[in-house]
Amino acid sequence: MSALLSPIKDVHSERRLFLSRVILAAVVSILLLGAVVGRLIQLQVVDHELFAEKSQGNRVRIEPVAPIRGLVFDRRDRVLAENLPAYQLELIPEQVDDIDDTLNRLAAINLVEFEDIPRIKDLSRSGPRFKPVTLRFRLTDEEIASFAIQRPRFPGVDFKPRLVRHYPDGELISHAVGYVGALSTDDLQRLDSAAYAGTSHTGKTGIESSFEADLHGDAGYRHLIANARGRQVPSDTSELLDSLPFDETPMPGANVYLTIDLDLQRIAAQAFEGRRGALVALDPQNGEILALISAPAFDPNLFAVGMSTSQYRELSENPDRPLFNRAVRGTYPPGSTIKPMLALAALETGATNLTRKTVCHGYFQLPNIEHRYRDWKPEGHGPVDLHDAIAQSCDVYFYEISTDIGITNMHDYLTRFGLGSATGIDISGERPGLVPSVEWKRSNFRGDDRRWYDGETVTASIGQSYMLATPLQLASAAAALATRGKRYRPHMVAAVEDALTGERRMIQPERLPDVEISNDFYWQTVLGAMHDVMQGPRGTARAVGFGAPYEMAGKSGTAQVVSIAQDEEYDDAELEDRQRDHALFISFAPFDNPRIAVALIVENGESGSGVAAPIARAVMDAYLGYGDDAS
């Protein structure tokens, strides 16, 4: 209230100050609105003719033109992904009065699924209102005919020709090439909106996703003449077109050439018929992936054409998980397939030598501990040396030397072969797997479990004890064995080709650090033992290698899905099918000059040498030209 009592002089000066500020504000206001008036005079009087002409020639619509997506080829130039013409149903949001009503009526005549309506409404709100939203990606001839009759009932909805991504070999290449799917609202926020104006699909997995930037290209645009009802009229009937700015032609996407061999891919896929699992075959001399299979697979055309919500649910909720890429994302205990690598580690660190022999009685015990670590062969292998331990896959020999190698050396050598970290393959989503170590256990467990126990070292020697690897990693490790330590980064893309100039950018193999072993004789012993796995008199997979016209090497593995308690009988009849052991196999051929390395897993296949090895042989036969249908 003191303000009311303050001297009158102040009140007067305050009023004067306020008045001067109001005058200032009024002047600023007049200047600002005067600027708008000036602009209006410029637009409506000075440049009126120009804009009048533009609006006359308006009826001009700028329409984005999507680029043609690059093609994908296999290593022998066979098409894996192409573009085929099809009719799609589109809706232009700004031309539709009541989107809900229109969609419901379209659903009533089965042109749209009721379940898809929320997704479509979401899309129609996210983009500019003049940009068409696709309701259905491929209409059948009957649907085109039935919509053509009813078209007057649906202003703003029309069908339009476009190119649909097509994978001629569908399931066969689904996990390698991946697929394109309709742009989602998330994609629209992530991608460059100018380059994707007019584009409806984007790569979602595999090569389609990782080479999206090359495959997609850049949008162009053209100017269209529309009549008074807003519908497009053919541009060549109008002389107005000459006064328009030039159209910009889209830049087509680049073609991508893969290292994949479609024939080999087919042979491998056939071998997996009715099974779950994965296979990776690569060229050990450069890391090129020759085949990449994950079974069961799915038809990527479903994603490219667009499927209903129920179709998608069926795929995504299938217990066999067809959408899951086991080759790069499936991690499994590698089992005995790591024995050759551990043998090298043992020789190099002096944990064993080439003459040491042990007598295998079918089990092994650590000093002062009751627990029996069993061999897969209950009666034992008898006297074995390192060669026999690999060729016959004797577990006891490895149990015995395991604590002398030690978990730290195991971790060290397996890591050099590329296990435990992503290989860096040129498709995304790869899992790193796991090679356990003392530090790893200390930082991932609590209390007493933080310690690394000797017993864990024992089971680690046969690829159990937390150890996990992807089929891709095992293939890469098999390749490193084949080349006696030379390693290349696995990759699937050989070249990217500019669609306009035909200029090819070759992708050079990337050399990785070698696995260095001091004595070449160690390599000879270990690889010789792997040779005898398949072609020696007592090899575990000798039945598979028998009678082959070339020399090969391999190693089987079996990975437990459930752990068996002590003294409990292993009775596989009682086990659910999905709890049977996984069957693994790694191999390479020809023995003296390896050209292919293969790793695979058959989920619940039980026997590495009996179930997995024959698939590896079939793939190697085909690639080396000894297959059934070899020409």
Rule CB under 8 A: choose which of 35, 233, 359, 562 binds other proteins: 35
Give the range of 126-134, 350-358, 442-450, 453-461 binding other proteins by CB under 8 A: 126-134
Quick check: 197 binds other proteins (CB under 8 A)? yes
With b meaning 16 or more CB within 10 Å and e meaning fewer, what string describes 239-275?
Answer: ebeeebeebeebbbbbbbbbbbbbbbbbbbbebbeeb
Q: Which is nearer to other proteins, 247 or 412 (CB)?
A: 247
Q: Which is nearer to other proteins, 64 or 557 (CB)?
A: 64
Cβ atoms of 291 and 278 closer than 8 Å: no
Strands 60-65 and 220-226: antiparallel
Closest approach, Cβ 471 to other proteins, in A, equals 38
Which residue is listed with tokens 């090679």?
435
Cβ atoms of 436 and 419 closer than 8 Å: no
Give the range of 11-19, 444-452, 494-502, 520-528 binding other proteins by CB under 8 A: 11-19
Q: Which x/- pattern over 165-194 shows residues binding other proteins (rule: CB under 8 A)?
A: ----------------------------xx
Total binding residues toward other proteins, as defined by CB under 8 A? 51
437 is catalytic: no
Strands 511-512 and 487-488: antiparallel
Of residues 292, 295, 380, the one with CA closest to residue 604: 295
Give the range of 18-26, 451-459, 610-618, 620-628 binding other proteins by CB under 8 A: 18-26
With b meaning 16 or more CB within 10 Å and e meaning fewer, what string describes 380-390?
Answer: bbeebbbbbbb
Q: Which is nearer to other proteins, 19 or 144 (CB)?
A: 19
Closest approach, Cβ 336 to other proteins, in A, equals 51
CA angle 100/102/107 to nearest 5° reads 95
Of residues 409, 369, 378, 410, the one with CA closest to residue 396: 378
Quick check: 7 binds other proteins (CB under 8 A)? no
Q: Within positions 40 to 99, which residues make up the interface with other proteins, using CB under 8 A?
A: 40-41, 43-45, 47-48, 50-52, 54-56, 58-59, 61-62, 64, 94-95
Cβ atoms of 396 and 364 closer than 8 Å: yes
Closest approach, Cβ 27 to other proteins, in A, equals 11
Rule CB under 8 A: choose which of 22, 144, 506, 562 binds other proteins: 22
Terminal-residue alpha carbon distance, the chain: 107
Q: Which is nearer to other proteins, 10 or 100 (CB)?
A: 10
Cβ atoms of 290 and 266 closer than 8 Å: no
Quick check: 8 binds other proteins (CB under 8 A)? no
Give the range of 222-230, 236-244, 305-313, 338-346 binding other proteins by CB under 8 A: 222-230
Quick check: 26 binds other proteins (CB under 8 A)? yes
Q: Which is nearer to other proteins, 220 or 605 (CB)?
A: 220
| Distances, alpha carbon 132 to alpha carbons 95, 96, 165, 360, in Å | 10, 11, 19, 73
Residue partners of 260: CB distance under 8 A and separation at least 6: 74, 75, 80, 173, 176, 289, 290, 291, 292, 492
Quick check: 213 binds other proteins (CB under 8 A)? no
Quick check: 630 binds other proteins (CB under 8 A)? no
How many Cβ atoms are within 10 Å of 77's Cβ, its own excluded? 8
Rule CB under 8 A: choose which of 76, 84, 101, 129 binds other proteins: 129
User: Which phi and psi (to 5°) does residue 298 adopt?
Assistant: -145, 170
Q: Which is nearer to other proteins, 232 or 593 (CB)?
A: 232
Q: Which is nearer to other proteins, 45 or 573 (CB)?
A: 45
User: Which phi and psi (to 5°) does residue 486 adopt?
Assistant: -80, 130
Rule CB under 8 A: choose which of 12, 19, 521, 572 binds other proteins: 19
Quick check: 3 binds other proteins (CB under 8 A)? yes
Closest approach, Cβ 243 to other proteins, in A, equals 13
Cβ atoms of 216 and 175 closer than 8 Å: no
Residue partners of 275: CB distance under 8 A and separation at least 6: 295, 602, 603, 605
Q: Which is nearer to other proteins, 159 or 221 (CB)?
A: 221
Give the range of 12-20, 258-266, 426-434, 489-497 binding other proteins by CB under 8 A: 12-20
Rule CB under 8 A: choose which of 104, 115, 118, 130 binds other proteins: 130
Quick check: 1 binds other proteins (CB under 8 A)? yes
Which residue is listed with tokens 């008036």?
37
Q: Which x/- pattern over 540-569 shows residues binding other proteins (rule: CB under 8 A)?
A: ------------------------------
Angle between helices 339-349 and 520-535 (to 10 degrees): 150
Closest approach, Cβ 107 to other proteins, in A, equals 24
Sequence letter at residue 53 = E
Which residue is listed with tokens 């020759």?
290
Sequence letter at residue 323 = L
Reply yes or no: is the peptide bond before residue 333 cis, omega within 30 of 0. no
Radius of gyration of the chain (CA): 34
Q: Which is nearer to other proteins, 122 or 572 (CB)?
A: 122
Q: Which is nearer to other proteins, 155 or 590 (CB)?
A: 155
Closest approach, Cβ 19 to other proteins, in A, equals 6
Cβ atoms of 195 and 68 closer than 8 Å: no
Q: Which is nearer to other proteins, 27 or 630 (CB)?
A: 27
Quick check: 39 binds other proteins (CB under 8 A)? yes
Quick check: 128 binds other proteins (CB under 8 A)? yes
Question: Rounded to whole angstroms, how far apart are CA atoms 232 and 451?
Answer: 74
Q: Which is nearer to other proteins, 120 or 394 (CB)?
A: 120
Quick check: 593 binds other proteins (CB under 8 A)? no
Rule CB under 8 A: choose which of 100, 144, 145, 230 binds other proteins: 230
Question: Rounded to whole angstroms, how far apart are CA atoms 365 and 560?
Answer: 20
Question: Rounded to whole angstroms, how far apart are CA atoms 423 and 265?
Answer: 21
Give the range of 31-39, 340-348, 478-486, 586-594 binding other proteins by CB under 8 A: 31-39
Which residue among the candidates 174, 210, 336, 587 is catalytic per the annotation? 336
Which residues of this protein are in contact with other proteins, per CB under 8 A?
A: 1-3, 10, 14, 17-19, 21-22, 25-26, 29, 32-33, 35-37, 39-41, 43-45, 47-48, 50-52, 54-56, 58-59, 61-62, 64, 94-95, 125, 128-130, 193-194, 197, 219, 221, 226, 228, 230
Catalytically annotated residues: 336
